[in-house]
Structure 1
Amino acid sequence: MNQQIRSSRDTAQGMRPRLDPEGLFDLRYAAFLETVSHLRVRLHRYCARMTGSALDGEDVMQEALFEAYRKIELLDDTLALRPWLFRIAHNRCIDFIRGRRARQRAEAGYAGDDIVLPVEPAGQGAGRAIERLVVHLPPKERACVLLKDVFDHSLEEIAELVGSTTGGVKSALNRGRAKLAALPVQPVAAPAHDPDLARLLGRYVELFNARDWDGVRALTSADARLRVSDCYNGLLSDSPYFVEYERAELPWRMGQGAIGAEIVLVVDRLYGDVWRPAHLVRTHAAGGVIDRIADYYACPWILEMVFEDG
Structure 2
Amino acid sequence: MSDRGPAVDRDRQEGLLALAVALRPELHRYCSRLMGSVIDGEDVVQDTFARAFIALDELCEVPQLRPWLFRIAHNRALDLLRSRAVRAAEPIEAALEIVDDAEADPVEMLMRRQAVQTAVSRFAELPILQRSVIILKDVLDEPLAEIASLLDITVDAVKGHLARGRARLREINAHATPLPDARIASAAVVRYVTLFNKRDWDGLRALLADDVKLHQSLHSPRSGAADVGMFFTIYAKSDGVWVTTAWLEGREVIAVFEQRSDPKPGYFMWLEWREGRISFIRDYRYVRYVADDAELSLVEDAGSSGRSTGH
SS in 1 for 2:109: coil
Specify the alignment match of 1:291 in structure 2. 279
Between the aligned partners of 2:262 and 2:130, the Cα distance in structure 1 is 43
Specify the alignment match of 1:227 in structure 2. 215
Are residues 220 and 214 of structure 1, via their aligned partners in 2, closer, same or farther at CA, if it must alter by over 3 Å? same
Give 1:304 deviation, angstroms: 2.5
Between the aligned partners of 2:267 and 2:247, the Cα distance in structure 1 is 13
Q: Is residue 51 from structure 1 mapped to residue 35 from structure 2 by the alignment?
A: yes
My pick for the range that moved more, 140-149 or 213-222, is: 213-222
Specify the alignment match of 2:15 in structure 1. 30
| Counterpart residue type for residue 30 of structure 1 | G
Specify the alignment match of 2:306 in structure 1. none
| Among 134, 137, 162, the residue aligned to 1:145 | 134
Specify the alignment match of 1:4 in structure 2. none
Asked if 1 retains the 8 angstrom alpha-carbon contact of 2:92 and 2:161, the reply is no
| Counterpart residue type for residue 131 of structure 2 | R
Asked if 2 retains the 8 angstrom alpha-carbon contact of 1:106 and 1:136, the reply is no
Specify the alignment match of 2:269 in structure 1. 281
Give 1:88 deviation, angstroms: 0.9
Q: Is residue 305 from structure 1 mapped to residue 293 from structure 2 by the alignment?
A: yes
Asked if 1 retains the 8 angstrom alpha-carbon contact of 2:71 and 2:150, the reply is yes
User: What pairs up with 1:166-245 in 2 under 5 angstroms?
Assistant: 166=155, 168-183=157-172, 184-190=174-180, 193=183, 195=184, 198-237=186-225, 238-239=227-228, 240-245=230-235
RMSD: 3.5
List gaps (5 residues or longer) in structure 2.
1-7, 100-106, 298-310
Between the aligned partners of 1:205 and 1:57, the Cα distance in structure 2 is 26
Specify the alignment match of 1:121 in structure 2. 108
Between the aligned partners of 2:71 and 2:203, the Cα distance in structure 1 is 44
Q: Is residue 256 from structure 1 mapped to residue 239 from structure 2 by the alignment?
A: no
Between the aligned partners of 2:188 and 2:93, the Cα distance in structure 1 is 51
Give 1:71 deviation, angstroms: 1.7
Are residues 117 and 107 of structure 1, via their aligned partners in 2, closer, same or farther at CA, if it must alter by over 3 Å? farther
How high is the TM-score relative to the length of structure 2?
A: 0.74
Between the aligned partners of 2:76 and 2:28, the Cα distance in structure 1 is 12
Between the aligned partners of 1:289 and 1:308, the Cα distance in structure 2 is 24
Q: Deviations over 1:21-52 (max 9, x none)?
A: xxxx7345323322x23312111111111112
| Counterpart residue type for residue 234 of structure 2 | E
Give 1:228 deviation, angstroms: 1.4
Specify the alignment match of 1:270 in structure 2. 259
Of all paired residues, the percent bearing the same amino acid is 31
Between the aligned partners of 2:84 and 2:126, the Cα distance in structure 1 is 15
SS in 2 for 1:153: coil
Specify the alignment match of 1:3 in structure 2. none
Asked if 2 retains the 8 angstrom alpha-carbon contact of 1:48 and 1:54, the reply is yes
Asked if 2 retains the 8 angstrom alpha-carbon contact of 1:29 and 1:72, the reply is no
Asked if 2 retains the 8 angstrom alpha-carbon contact of 1:191 and 1:261, the reply is no
User: What pairs up with 1:24-173 in 2 under 5 angstroms?
Assistant: 26-34=11-19, 36-78=20-62, 80-100=64-84, 113=94, 115=96, 121-123=108-110, 125-130=113-118, 132=120, 133-166=122-155, 168-173=157-162
Asked if 2 retains the 8 angstrom alpha-carbon contact of 1:131 and 1:150, the reply is no
Give 1:95 deviation, angstroms: 2.5
Between the aligned partners of 1:142 and 1:77, the Cα distance in structure 2 is 32
SS in 2 for 1:122: helix
| Counterpart residue type for residue 165 of structure 2 | G
Between the aligned partners of 1:228 and 1:44, the Cα distance in structure 2 is 16
Specify the alignment match of 2:301 in structure 1. none
List gaps (5 residues or longer) in structure 1.
1-18
Between the aligned partners of 2:76 and 2:92, the Cα distance in structure 1 is 29
Q: Deviations over 1:48-80 (max 9, x none)?
A: 111122222222211211221222243445461
How high is the TM-score relative to the length of structure 1?
A: 0.75
Give 1:308 deviation, angstroms: 11
Are residues 28 and 172 of structure 1, via their aligned partners in 2, closer, same or farther at CA, if it must alter by over 3 Å? same
My pick for the range that moved more, 142-151 or 66-75, is: 66-75
Are residues 138 and 275 of structure 1, via their aligned partners in 2, closer, same or farther at CA, if it must alter by over 3 Å? closer
Give 1:295 deviation, angstroms: 0.4
Give the count of matched residue pairs: 280
SS in 1 for 2:271: strand
Asked if 1 retains the 8 angstrom alpha-carbon contact of 2:92 and 2:157, the reply is no
Between the aligned partners of 1:221 and 1:308, the Cα distance in structure 2 is 27
Q: Deviations over 1:94-114 (max 9, x none)?
A: 23323445xxx6898798636
